[in-house]
């Protein structure tokens, strides 16, 4: 018996959608019927020249396209997209003018304001002039330790307008975490806030900022006011000046856009792993723009003026993705602070007040709302919400159910997956297809996604490696300071020659959807059988007694045994009865092979700054191996809870 879909597209809304408009546009040019979404995807990866050229034209990219679309198109890496093109990323984001809001901003319950399209352009103009006065030009790096606020996006646009390279992190990073990232790329300008709000409290940054600025040695450190303390903070920081002082000498005028090659570097993003200093991943302006236009306009169906929200910090690639929403004329809804202050309703309050069309968040947030017993469907007017997206970790089948039972019954739920590596998605929502419980709808247009077994053969209904078999524009230019592209090649192309191996453990479904079972480098191998950690989390984290879990494989007796750590709900103890209940749940919901040999209660679970649990770091601690990049963690002290445990010696 086939499971019924949780959601199916409304025929009239689909007919009026950008997805169908593009299918008609591309089909007419190609002389094909591309109304069927599977036919459209198949065409997009077989006729890549036709697809990417049609996407450029349909989305109205500002720039010169050139004659050639894909050069050396079978080489990965090595393919070049739009090698003759000239464009400017910022010009393609500052697409509207007027007094309508380009961005709305809330910092918990302390600050609420907005910035119009005209105000944004005026600030970008002043910043651009100030950048040039400080000698910032093409290829120079501009680094920011900033909250998710309008000024951050304005600084990024000013950098992009002149061909500088932007890199950012959130202000909760420690000194070492910031220097491990920005110290590698030697920024000419460094930007920071004067502090931020979290859990209702003022969080000061002056002391660590002074230490960071002194070691970075940038031409200037610009302090942006959020706590109204920018002048005092600037005075305490080497080379510091407030934002007001930085732009005081300049009047707003038309923004001047440098026309640059499609492959000109735009962003440097950093890997969030804990296996060494972060890798500096360099992304191109053209590749990022075209990929984000595709995802916002076609897969998300975003229209000008719609309210677009993603809960993210500036240290996660979803911030870069959110910023690109300006390219389709959307109004960005920015939020900085705790998503549970003063309680779990705060983001739904924001959504109802501002009438979000798109609400983006993490699987962990959805699960936390469910476990808090909240039902936004009953307490908030979410009538404007048409699309909810989830990423960061696999969304459990129960998470899918909760969205439809507790948040909105007719919303298009799009579980999405990609990463910092491509600053976008491999698999995501498709507005022309049904949503099935526990499944991502399918691959992005132009993305030749597949699942391969150990021998490099395509498999369906079995778990294997998520791969991409053909080049795509959002592939990184490379890694910063990586002679001969050795680290870049080792990261993605060493497993299968000329094929991108992403590091996700995945499975095709009968609906041609996809399930992500966790990271392939964190898969468990008891008795030589590969098991995805997400399969265990899907069972355990639905139990009221378990707040959160993390699972690793421990090397034991010439094999690997499954060890499950659980953070329990308040007042719950891990007695024999609960252990038996957990094992029974896993045995019946997953399989006997998934049942852990050991279950251990812990007070906390380590996670990265972007909220992802860190199985590899826990595995290293358990095996008495050093965790090199602890600054990538939001709570590194939690690692101590996993060291030298007596339960793991028997």
Tens digit of each residue's pLDDT (9 = 90 or more) over 153-186: 999 999 999 999 999 999 998 888 899 899 999 9
Mean per-residue pLDDT of the chain: 94
Question: What domains lie within the chain, and their CATH numbers?
Answer: 114-261 (3.40.50.980), 526-649 (3.30.300.30)
Q: What is the pLDDT of residues 388-399, one digit of tens each?
A: 999 988 899 999
Instruction: Give the list of residues 6+ apart from residue 217 with CB closer than 8 angstroms, or none.
Output: none
DSSP, collapsed to helix, strand or coil, labels residue 519 as: strand
From 349-353, 598-602, 610-614, the region with the lowest mean pLDDT: 610-614
CA 243 to chain centre: 28
Instruction: Give the list of residues 6+ apart from residue 457 with CB closer than 8 angstroms, or none.
Output: none
Beta strand 387-391 pairing with 358-362? parallel
Burial tier of 198 (Cβ tally within 10 Å: 0-12, 13-18, 19+): middle
Instruction: Give the list of residues 6+ apart from residue 48 with CB closer than 8 angstroms, or none.
Output: 69, 70, 73, 446, 470
pLDDT value at 472 more than 60:
yes
Residue pair 206/231 in contact by the 8 Å Cβ criterion: no
pLDDT value at 519 more than 60:
yes
Query: For residue 634, what pLDDT is reported?
Result: 86
- The conformation of residue 607, written as its DSSP 8-state character, comes to B
pLDDT value at 521 more than 90:
no
* Mean pLDDT, residues 614-634: 86
Query: For residue 272, what pLDDT is reported?
Result: 66
Query: For residue 2, what pLDDT is reported?
Result: 66
**529-535, long-range: CB within 8 Å, 24+ apart, which pairs?**
529/593, 530/463, 530/505, 531/562, 531/593, 531/594, 532/463, 532/505, 533/615, 534/393, 534/394, 534/396, 535/590, 535/594
Residue entry with tokens 């009221």 = 544
- The conformation of residue 405, written as its DSSP 8-state character, comes to I
* Mean pLDDT, residues 596-611: 90
Q: What is the pLDDT of residues 239-289, one digit of tens each?
A: 999 999 999 999 999 999 999 999 999 999 998 655 567 899 999 999 999
Q: What six digits make up the tokens of 326? A: 């300006």
Q: What is the pLDDT of residues 96-142, one digit of tens each?
A: 999 999 999 999 999 999 999 999 999 999 999 999 999 999 999 99
Q: pLDDT confidence of 556, banded at 50, 70, 90? A: confident
HSE-CB for 260 with a 13 A CA cutoff: 27
Report which of 326, 322, 316, 320 is spatially closest to residue 285, judged by C-alpha positions.
Answer: 320
Query: For residue 1, what pLDDT is reported?
Result: 46
Residue pair 90/65 in contact by the 8 Å Cβ criterion: no
Distance CA 47, CA 53 (A): 10
Q: What is the pLDDT of residues 187-237, one digit of tens each?
A: 999 999 999 999 999 999 999 999 999 999 999 999 999 998 999 999 999
Q: What six digits make up the tokens of 339? A: 């998503």
Beta strand 331-336 pairing with 358-362? unpaired
Report which of 177, 246, 243, 241 is spatially closest to residue 215, judged by C-alpha positions.
Answer: 177
pLDDT value at 559 more than 60:
yes
Residue pair 475/500 in contact by the 8 Å Cβ criterion: yes
Residue pair 359/376 in contact by the 8 Å Cβ criterion: no
B/e letters for 497-531, b = 16+ CB within 10 Å, e = fewer, are eebbbbbbbbbbbebbbbbbbbbbebbbebeeebb
Report which of 295, 294, 298 is spatially closest to residue 310, judged by C-alpha positions.
Answer: 295
Q: Hey, what's the torsion of the CAs at 540, 544, 545, 547, to 10 degrees?
A: 70
Distance CA 332, CA 115 (A): 10
Report which of 426, 421, 424, 425 is spatially closest to residue 487, judged by C-alpha positions.
Answer: 421
Q: pLDDT confidence of 308, banded at 50, 70, 90? A: very high
**pTM, two decimal places:** 0.90
Report the percent of the chain where pLDDT is more than 90. Answer: 85
Report which of 504, 523, 524, 522 is spatially closest to residue 514, judged by C-alpha positions.
Answer: 504
């Amino acid at each position: 018996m086939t499971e019924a879909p949780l959601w199916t597209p409304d025929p009239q809304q689909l007919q009026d959608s950008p997805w169908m408009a593009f299918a008609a546009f591309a089909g007419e040019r190609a002389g094909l019927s591309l109304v069927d979404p599977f036919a459209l995807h198949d065409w997009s990866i077989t006729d890549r020249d036709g697809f990417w050229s049609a996407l450029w034209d349909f989305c109205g990219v500002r720039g010169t396209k050139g004659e050639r679309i894909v050069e050396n198109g079978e080489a990965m890496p090595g393919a070049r997209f739009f090698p003759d093109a000239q464009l400017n990323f910022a010009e393609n984001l500052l697409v509207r003018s007027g007094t309508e809001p380009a961005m709305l901003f809330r910092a918990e319950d302390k600050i609420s304001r907005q910035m119009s399209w005209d105000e944004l352009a005026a600030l970008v103009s002043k910043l651009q002039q100030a950048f040039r006065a400080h000698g910032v030009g093409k290829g120079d790096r501009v680094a920011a330790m900033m909250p998710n606020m309008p000024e951050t996006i304005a600084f990024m646009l000013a950098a992009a307008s002149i061909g500088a390279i932007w890199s950012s992190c959130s202000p909760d990073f420690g000194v070492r975490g910031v220097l491990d990232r920005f110290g590698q790329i030697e920024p000419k300008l460094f930007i920071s806030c004067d502090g931020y709000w979290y859990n209702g409290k003022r969080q000061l940054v002056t002391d660590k900022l002074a230490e960071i600025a002194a070691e970075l040695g940038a031409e200037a450190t610009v302090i942006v006011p959020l706590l109204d303390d920018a002048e005092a903070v600037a005075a305490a920081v080497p080379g510091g000046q407030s934002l007001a002082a930085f732009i005081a000498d300049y009047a707003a005028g038309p923004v001047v856009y440098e026309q640059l090659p499609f492959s000109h570097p735009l962003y440097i993003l950093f890997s969030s792993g804990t296996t060494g200093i972060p890798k500096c991943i360099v992304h191109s302006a053209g590749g990022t723009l075209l990929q984000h236009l595709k995802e916002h306009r076609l897969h998300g169906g975003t229209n000008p003026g719609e309210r677009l929200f993603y809960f993210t910090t500036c240290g996660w690639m979803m911030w870069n993705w959110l910023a690109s929403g300006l390219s389709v004329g959307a109004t960005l809804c920015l939020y900085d602070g705790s998503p549970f202050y003063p309680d779990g309703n705060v983001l739904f309050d924001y959504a109802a007040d501002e009438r979000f069309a798109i609400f983006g968040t993490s699987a962990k947030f959805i699960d936390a709302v469910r476990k808090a017993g909240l039902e936004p469907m009953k307490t908030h007017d979410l009538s404007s919400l048409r699309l909810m997206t989830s990423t960061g970790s696999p969304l459990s089948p129960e998470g899918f159910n909760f969205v439809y039972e507790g948040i909105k019954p007719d919303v298009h739920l799009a579980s999405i997956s990609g990463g910092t590596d491509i600053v976008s998605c491999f698999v995501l929502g498709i507005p022309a297809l049904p949503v099935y419980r526990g499944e991502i709808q399918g691959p992005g247009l132009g993305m030749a996604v597949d699942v391969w077994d150990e021998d490099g053969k395509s498999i369906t209904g079995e778990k294997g490696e998520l791969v991409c078999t053909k080049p795509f524009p959002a592939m990184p230019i490379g890694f910063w300071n990586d002679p001969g592209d050795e680290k870049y090649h080792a990261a993605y192309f060493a497993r299968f020659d000329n094929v991108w191996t992403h590091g996700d453990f995945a499975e095709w479904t009968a609906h041609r959807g996809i399930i992500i079972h966790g990271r392939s480098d964190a898969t468990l191998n008891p008795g030589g059988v590969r098991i995805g950690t997400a399969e265990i989390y899907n069972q355990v984290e639905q139990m009221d007694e378990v707040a959160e879990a993390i699972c690793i494989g421990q090397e034991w007796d010439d094999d690997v045994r499954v060890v499950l750590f659980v953070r329990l709900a308040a007042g719950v103890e891990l007695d024999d009865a609960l252990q038996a209940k957990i094992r029974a749940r896993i045995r019946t919901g997953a399989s006997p092979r998934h049942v852990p040999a050991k279950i251990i209660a812990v007070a906390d679970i380590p996670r990265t700054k972007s909220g992802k649990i860190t199985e590899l770091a826990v595995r290293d601690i358990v095996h008495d191996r050093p965790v090199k990049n602890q600054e990538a963690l939001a709570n590194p002290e939690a690692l101590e809870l996993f060291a030298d445990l007596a339960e793991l010696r028997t």
